[in-house]
A and B are shown apart, each in its own frame.
Chain A
Amino acid sequence: GDSVTQMEGPVTLSEEAFLTINCTYTATGYPSLFWYVQYPGEGLQLLLKATKADDKGSNKGFEATYRKETTSFHLEKGSVQVSDSAVYFCALIGNNQGGKLIFGQGTELSVKP
């Protein structure tokens, strides 16, 4: 079945460092890809998404490009802030799956001043 694999955390960075969180997927057809962020004790918020190959999603300085040839959707940010500390989830929705989101296990990011 469809699945998502993300790099394990926790990831600890200094403020203004470059961030990459790797995400790869397995799916039949052409899924849509998502990055969600979760702050402690809260629900998930959509960070960005891409619905077809070579699309780039971007929001709040975060970017990710849908790479079908490598089945990847890596999250990047050029300069992280302390307020970016959270858990990041990569997810996909496959074709004809009733809109079911399939999540990776999440990557905890901690940014130190």
Chain B
Amino acid sequence: DGGITQSPKYLFRKEGQNVTLSCEQNLNHDAMYWYRQDPGQGLRLIYYSQIVNDFQKGDIAEGYSVSREKKESFPLTVTSAQKNPTAFYLCASSISGGYTDTQYFGPGTRLTVL
């Protein structure tokens, strides 16, 4: 089955640690996205990539980093510089990143800072 997988489902981080969230897709999509969701709010864009080895900052990139070495993979690292990282993180992909393209979402990773 084609789709987007995210791991782990739940992640706990101590203060001062970096953690990496995995996102993999087998849809052969060029564009991939990371969003953050806070309780009672809509999603906000962290980073996006429309092609391998290239990515752009979204609205809330501070304290996060990404890489796009393979078409299928777009891992997100939450660094210790992120002041309030506890949130639900969602990865998405679309065919080419065009404005009419549908974005398909993974099941999400819930990150909690202890």
- Within 8 Å of chain A (Cβ to Cβ): is B101? yes
**Contact check: which of A43, A44, A98, A105 meets B97 at CB < 8 Å?**
A98
Q: Once the chains are docked, how many angstroms separate the CA of A23 from the CA of B33? A: 24
Set B40, B92, B104: member contacting A105, Cβ < 8 A: B40
Residues facing B in A64-113 (CB within 8 A) are: 89, 91, 93-101, 103-106
- Interface: B45 (CB within 8 A): yes
Q: How far is the CA of A84 from the CA of B93 in the complex (A)?
A: 25
Report the minimum CB–CB distance from A103 to chain B (whole Å). Answer: 3
- Cα(A4)–Cα(B108), bound, Å: 23
Contact of A46 with B48 in the complex, beta carbons under 8 Å: no
- Size range of the chain B interface in the assembly: 20 to 34
Chain A interface size, under 10 / 10 to 19 / 20 to 34 / 35 or more = 20 to 34
CB contact under 8 A between A100 and B45, given known A44-B90, A93-B99? yes
Q: Does B107 contact A (CB under 8 A)?
A: yes
- Which residue in chain A gives the minimum CB-CB distance to B56? A98
Cβ of A99 and Cβ of B58 under 8 Å apart? no
Q: Is B41 an interface residue (CB 8 A)?
A: yes
Q: Are A89 and B90 within 8 A (Cβ)?
A: no
Cβ of B50 within 8 Å of any chain A Cβ, yes or no, is: yes
Residue of B nearest to A95 (CB): B99
Q: Which residues of A contact B (CB under 8 A)?
A: 4, 31-32, 34, 36, 41-46, 49, 51, 89, 91, 93-101, 103-106
